[in-house]
Amino acid sequence: MKKEHKIKVEPIRDKKVLNEFINELNTGKNGRRNVLIFKIGLSTGLRISDIIKIKVSDVKGKTEFELVEQKTTKKRKVYLHNVLTELTEYLNTLDDVQIWLFSNTWDNSKHISSNQFYKILQKAANSLELDYIGTHSMRKTFGYWYYREYKDVATLMTIFNHSSPSITLRYIGITDEEIRNTLKDFKIF
């Protein structure tokens, strides 16, 4: 039995790397689907378990919708403004009878699995020699860039349904980064 190593999943902190990663996801016959899954994760902070269960009827002709998060069972409003163009173009490629927004490659009656999308992410990450990518990278990257832009940990904490600011900052890797950055220039003598 092959032993799998656990990776420490991190946000993508470099916009050039982020764009390269998105371009890598865009290869193959399901590239458009894979990029849209990733971009929805990047622009909403949703977990992969919630993204894969989005139905066509949830989003068709809408700029926002509500879902119940699988992990927390809390209602969450999802805003699609940042991915509306890609979403509309993608919807136009789907069969009229398709239920799931992101269907399984082999069976349109089922949605893509979290594990299947993890493997897609790993393939793209390996080709770019990135060793910190997993399904939570989308959510962590969203949080990282949201915090970098707004410095609003309270709102981010609410978006993530976290119980404290320290959990949110640790989750998006800000704490480690800030410690590293402050200590590299710190001198007592």
What residue type is assigned to position 57 of the chain?
S
Q: Is 170 a catalytic residue?
A: no
Instruction: Specify the DSSP class assigned to residue 67.
Output: E
Q: Is 136 a catalytic residue?
A: yes
Contact 59, 80 (CB under 8 A): yes
Q: How far apart are CA 128 and CA 110, in angstroms?
A: 30
Contact 63, 83 (CB under 8 A): no
Q: Is 171 a catalytic residue?
A: yes
Cα separation values, 142 from 13, 104, 145, 159, 188, Å? 10, 25, 6, 11, 36
Q: Identify any residues that bridge with 108 across adjacent strands, giving them in sequence order.
A: none
Q: Is 140 a catalytic residue?
A: no
Q: Is 71 a catalytic residue?
A: yes
Beta strand pairing status for 64-68 and 75-79?
A: antiparallel
Contact 128, 23 (CB under 8 A): no
Identify the active-site residue in 47, 53, 111, 140: 47
Q: Is 90 a catalytic residue?
A: no
Identify the active-site residue in 32, 76, 123, 136: 136
Identify the active-site residue in 2, 5, 71, 180: 71
Residue 179 gets the label, from left (phi > 0), alpha (psi -120 to 50) or beta, of alpha
Identify the active-site residue in 139, 140, 144, 147: 139
Catalytic residues: 47, 71, 136, 139, 162, 171
